[in-house]
Structure 1
Amino acid sequence: MAGNENNFLKLLTTQLQHQDPTSPMKNDQLASQLAQFSAVEQQVQTNKNLSALISLNESSQLTQNRSMVGQTASAQTSTLPLQSGAASLSVGNTSPGQIIGISVANAAGQVVKSDVLESSGGSNAWRWDGKSNDGTQLSDGPYSVSVKTVDGNGTTTDVPFSVNGKITGITKGDSGVSVQMGGAVIPMSNVQSISS
């Protein structure tokens, strides 16, 4: 900020030195420029203080949330964490007999696992043993998952779902505090519940 102040003062001094003597700058113009500079300086300082306050709040949240490591979280996200060769998710309310299609893709976007189940009504759980469609055991890490219902005409509709995983760490990044579930990083704001 000191550099900006010095630049402003240099500009103001230069402006005063080179003003037309027959038409000097009026006091109200000078006062207006000084007031504008003061307002900008205060806004910059307010923004710095606000950033510092947000950072302190996130650091405090990070410290408090470290106790969650080792617990199981349920999060609303399309990132499915495969941990120790297993993953699970819960599908939102569906009607009994409704067909649910689940598709899991790797980081390259290739579908590695497809599954179809019939809804028992209400909430439905789905577990994955980490094996691809051809039976190959896949490595732990984050996978992308999509869940849809299919009607008799073959029309698909997205269904709300949440993934489950063991919290292995808490991190703070540019977008705020996140939970780690193995290789998957999920914003804390997406976490719906935590259980032991």
Structure 2
Amino acid sequence: MTTTTSLLSTAETAAKSSATTNAASISSASTTTTTTSTSALSSLSSNFSTFLTLLTTQLQNQDPSSPMSSDTFTSELAQFAGVEQQVATNTNLTTLISLTEDGQQSSDMSLVGKTATASTTQLPLQNGSSSISFNTTSAESIAIAVTDSSGNVVKTAELTSSAGANTWTWDGTNTSGTQLADGSYNVAVETEDGSGNTSTVPFTVTGTVTGISNNSGTIYVKMGSSLIDMADVTSFTDASSTTSSSSTTSSATSTSSASTSTTS
């Protein structure tokens, strides 16, 4: 069974789309945002100054025969004091949350060096190698496309999968056989049924954890240049146990020069 030109084209289009999405995600994850409590406190200070100006103007222009009740002034001041206390409480809560997140990040640093498996279209190329895993219910035509961070297609593969678990390993070379630099790439996997209808094949990528990042409460796992949301990581294993656990995985059969892994 071989793939068609349209299937490969669909995989390339999907990989290019992933490149755009992932670039925006990585940029967002690397940007520090301003806390809401700080903005609220600044706004409160400005509003309080305006309130005092209005209060003074009220006193200067009130009807001498029917002055405003002092209880009204007291009530307004109490409301502002209550808001100020609430903002202060929120600021303290933000500090506590930040300390908790820092502690979580420190704990997660123990994951550095482990092998992580994640459901993401980011493909970390580390030490000239990267791999993805996917399952098919039967032998199917499979097209895989890899792009760089700019969305340029650098590698394609046409495969016939095996029923069950499959692993495709990329040796980091482009379509011309040139070895590419380690970094964060993007990948898409597509299949085609007997009627020629294409569909996306769910897959996971595997890489070595090189760091942990915390941005606005979201923990990210670094795999080389790839920055992957911790929520997308499905498992962590020690590097020494990866080889033994992969022995149960069947590989897809390649019909092109793409590198595949064969395990039994």
CA RMSD of aligned residues (A): 2.4
1:45-124 alignment runs, 5 A limit: 45-91=88-134, 93-124=135-166
Q: Deviations over 1:62-94 (max 9, x none)?
A: 111111111100111111000000001111x42
Q: Deviations over 1:102-131 (max 9, x none)?
A: 111001101111112222223321111111
Give, in angstroms, the shift of residue 142 of structure 1.
0.0
Give the corresponding residue for 1:135. Answer: 177
CA shift in 2, pair 1:23/1:121, >3 Å: farther
Structure 1, unaligned runs of 5 or more: none
Distance, in Å, in 1 between the alignment partners of 2:212 and 2:130 is 19
Name the amino acid aligned to 1:110: N
Structure 2, unaligned runs of 5 or more: 1-40, 239-264
Name the % identity: 45
Distance, in Å, in 1 between the alignment partners of 2:125 and 2:61 is 71
Distance, in Å, in 2 between the alignment partners of 1:59 and 1:100 is 43
Give, in angstroms, the shift of residue 40 of structure 1.
2.3
The question of 1:147 aligning with 2:189 is answered yes
1:89 touches 1:127 (CA, 8 Å); kept in 2? yes
Give the corresponding residue for 2:216. Answer: 174
Distance, in Å, in 2 between the alignment partners of 1:49 and 1:20 is 40
**Partner SS state of residue 108, structure 2:** helix
1:19 touches 1:25 (CA, 8 Å); kept in 2? no
Q: Deviations over 1:27-61 (max 9, x none)?
A: 55434423432342233223212321221121111
Task: Give the TM-score normalised by the residue count of structure 2.
Answer: 0.66
CA shift in 2, pair 1:121/1:46, >3 Å: farther
1:66 touches 1:169 (CA, 8 Å); kept in 2? yes
Name the amino acid aligned to 1:191: V
1:30-49 alignment runs, 5 A limit: 30-49=73-92
Name the amino acid aligned to 2:132: L
Distance, in Å, in 2 between the alignment partners of 1:107 and 1:164 is 18
May I ask how many residue pairs the two structures share in their alignment? 195
Q: Which has the higher helix share?
A: 2
Distance, in Å, in 2 between the alignment partners of 1:70 and 1:56 is 25
Task: Give the TM-score normalised by the residue count of structure 1.
Answer: 0.87
1:104 touches 1:113 (CA, 8 Å); kept in 2? yes
Give, in angstroms, the shift of residue 132 of structure 1.
0.9
1:95 touches 1:119 (CA, 8 Å); kept in 2? no
Distance, in Å, in 2 between the alignment partners of 1:116 and 1:32 is 74
Which stretch of structure 1 is more off in the superposition, 53-62 or 43-52? 43-52
Give the corresponding residue for 1:194. Answer: 236
